[in-house]
Structure 1
């Protein structure tokens, strides 16, 4: 069975709502053969990443950058996973109240350095997530999970 790892930092109601929608998409009953594992960014380890076949990353945009928690995650796992996770599919969701471009760019730069493969456009939401935003989050979860199906 394939494993999808969702690494998230969801301190606000908006990011938590987005995470819930991503999780619902990833665990849709029509997606089979994929085990979904959730880890808070401050708890996720290199072993978690090495055991995953794909990833979804979620973060608020803090002062135009990814959260410190997600940055800490990358700082802890980067070198231990560098050679063993090339080509892994990934997706990203970001919430912000101001600029989000820096957060997206930073995560994509690190993912590029790891040679991960983005399989869906990032879902970026400014302000309160509306129905369309939550549907896009659901779609993100379902798309990344579906890439891992046998």
Structure 2
């Protein structure tokens, strides 16, 4: 088993839905997931570092092992119109996400 988090950034932190998921499940899985590898990819409007730090703190509390630093995909949405518009992830960013997923999968195959 591995943990993969792909939260969107919202107001310089995790989206409410993602944070709620972590909050609701934190204690329920605490003793069942410690030591597992995890990866994190953030979809950001401009920065993403706040959401990455939040995710890393939660995963540290769960005693998970990061396989790589958080991958932040900056969508560059700064205006209300850009934020609400459909997004297309650049091929280079999709490839980085695929590499991160491959690294996580490889870590599992090698026994963490």
Give the alignment's TM-score, normalised by structure 1.
0.62
2:104 is the alignment partner of 1:144: yes
Which of 100, 103, 108 is matched with 2:56 structurally?
108
Q: Deviations for 1:28-60, whole angstroms, at most 9, x for unmatched residues? A: xxxxxxxxxxxxxxxxxxxxxxxxx11110111
Higher-Rg member (1/2): 2
Residue 129 (structure 1) shift: 2.9
Q: Which residue of 2 aligns with 1:133?
A: 93
For these two proteins, the number of residue pairs brought into alignment is 98
Residue 131 (structure 1) shift: 2.1
2:13 is the alignment partner of 1:65: yes
Q: Which residue of 1 aligns with 2:81?
A: none
Q: Which residue of 2 aligns with 1:29?
A: none
Q: Deviations for 1:67-103, whole angstroms, at most 9, x for unmatched residues? A: 1111111111101111221111000010111231110
Decide which structure has greater helix share: 2
Give the alignment's TM-score, normalised by structure 2.
0.81
Decide which structure has greater strand share: 1
Matches for 1:19-98 after TM superposition, within 5 Å: 53-98=1-46
Q: How many Å separate the matches in 1 of 2:93 and 2:27?
A: 34
Paired residue secondary structure (2:73) = strand
- Structure 2 gaps of 5+ residues are 76-87
Q: How many Å separate the matches in 1 of 2:105 and 2:91?
A: 21
- Structure 1 gaps of 5+ residues are 1-52
Aligned-residue CA RMSD in angstroms? 1.3
